[in-house]
Amino acid sequence: MSPLRLLLLLLLLLLLPPAYASKGDCDADGKLSSADALLALKMAVGELATKSCADVDADNRVTSNDAAEILLLAVGGRCQTLVDRVKGAAEGAEVEGFAGSLLGDQRIAVEVGEDCSFGIVVDGGKIVSITQGEVKNPTLTASTDYETLETLLASGSTEELKKALETGKIRLRTESILNRFRLGIAKLAMRFT
């Protein structure tokens, strides 16, 4: 993963105001349940016409993976699955060059929706840990929703990340003047890449 792409992924994890989309709520009753997972599974095998609500991983198709994801959401396991995916994609990665100097050493608190939080620790330009739960004394806080993060993880596209940042689907906060300056530089750099 390129340093710029890694920086964009980290920025993505830091930016979105919660948007409570109805992804997964296939029966439109306002909550996720095993009934929604069953409907998605029936869509996946062709017993029912597919609906966009069942495409929770945003890959433009409804599969058994979507049904499993809905079931995890219904029982509260989606956050751990998401953290595991982010961890597999980024933990241990070196953040080199401009991106590394921009990030430096950070303790990033990531908030996904109302019910998921995890921490990313960057030390010496390397992502040394990604753990579920709160990170102590964060230097940056990123907010987003499940749908946006799933879309970014599935696409790996810097364009999708730029779009999410520009539309406010990802929101970054910091109390540090230095980090505010760094974020400003990163946003400016993204406009020219």
**pLDDT > 70? residue 19:** no
- Helix count (H) and strand count (E) of the chain? 8, 5
pLDDT number for residue 109: 93
The percentage of residues in the chain with a pLDDT greater than 70, rounded to a whole number, is 81
96 Rama sector, left if φ>0, alpha if ψ -120 to 50, beta otherwise? beta
Q: Are strands 126-132 and 116-123 parallel, antiparallel or unpaired?
A: antiparallel
Give long-range contacts, CB 8 A cutoff, 24+ apart: 55-64: 55/23, 56/23, 56/24, 56/146, 56/147, 56/150, 57/150, 57/154, 58/147, 58/150, 58/151, 58/154, 58/155, 59/154
Average pLDDT of every residue of the chain: 80
Separation between Cα atoms, residue 63 and residue 37, nearest integer Å: 11
Q: What's this model's pTM, rounded to 2 decimal places? A: 0.62
pLDDT number for residue 183: 76
More confident residue, 26 or 1: 26
| pLDDT one-digit tens code per residue, 124-145 | 888 899 998 888 899 989 899 9
| pLDDT one-digit tens code per residue, 87-134 | 887 888 887 665 666 667 889 999 998 888 999 998 888 889 999 888
**pLDDT > 80? residue 7:** no
**pLDDT > 50? residue 29:** yes
What's 3-19+91-191's CATH class? alpha beta
More confident residue, 81 or 47: 47
Domain boundaries, the chain: 3-19+91-191
More confident residue, 44 or 86: 44
> Are the CB atoms for 172 and 140 separated by under 8 Å?
yes
Separation between Cα atoms, residue 114 and residue 98, nearest integer Å: 33
Separation between Cα atoms, residue 21 and residue 136, nearest integer Å: 29
At 12, is the pLDDT very low, low, confident or very high (cuts 50, 70, 90)? Answer: low
